[in-house]
A = this chain, B = another copy of it.
Amino acid sequence: MLLGRVAGTVVSSRKEPLIEGWKLLLVRQLDADNHDAGGYVVAADAVGAGVGEVVLYATGSSARQTETTRDRPCDAVIMAIVDTWEIGGRDVYRK
Q: Measured between alpha carbons, how far is A66 from B17 in the docked complex, in Å?
A: 9
Instruction: Report, as a range, how many residues of chain A touch the other chain.
Output: 35 or more
Q: Measured between alpha carbons, how far is A80 from B17 in the docked complex, in Å?
A: 9
Whether the pair A1, B75 counts as a contact (CB closer than 8 A) is yes
- Residues of chain B lying within 8 A (CB to CB) of residue A24: 1, 56, 80
Q: Measured between alpha carbons, how far is A18 from B65 in the docked complex, in Å?
A: 9
Interface residues of A in 1-37 (CB under 8 A from B): 1-3, 7-16, 18-19, 24, 26, 28, 31-32
Residues of A within 8 A of B (CB): 1-3, 7-16, 18-19, 24, 26, 28, 31-32, 40-43, 46-48, 51, 56, 58-66, 71-77, 79-88, 92
